Amino acid sequence: MIEVSCKSIVVSRKPGKDKDGLWTALIGLFDENNPHLKAKVPFKSLEFEDMIKVRFRDLRNISLYLMGNDLVINNLISLQVEVDEGKRILTLSGEQEL
């Protein structure tokens, strides 16, 4: 499990190694809310290859911006990232200040 401190994250995806294969999950870590509005660069990026899905646990304020393919989660205090290599599932959980 990976645990990080950040204010917000942007969850996105990119194609995998071949166009018919599984996707790579990307998590950009930011030190302020709504980084997509200011074209901010993450202070750290996490990439997880060959994922089937991303699960969200214990997070209540999640926004999907239809102009792109990204989910934005603001007001984070901490984020935990767990990877199930066998099932190819990434689980994000954490604590938010709402």
For the chain, what are the domain ranges? 2-96
The predicted structure's pLDDT at residue 55: 96
The predicted structure's pLDDT at residue 39: 83
With beta carbons less than 8 A apart as the criterion, state whether 14 and 45 touch: no
**What are the pLDDT tens digits along the chain (98 aa)?**
999 999 999 999 998 888 788 999 999 999 999 998 888 899 999 999 999 999 999 999 899 888 778 899 999 999 999 999 999 999 999 999 98
| Pairwise CA distance, residues 53 & 30, whole Å | 22
Which residues, 6 or more positions from 41, have their beta carbon under 8 angstroms from its beta carbon?
Answer: none
Extract the tokens encoding 53: 């899905």
Query: How far is CA 56 from each of CA 36, 37, 41, 59, 72, rounded to the nearest angstrom?
Result: 20, 23, 23, 6, 12
Q: What's this model's pTM, rounded to 2 decimal places?
A: 0.90
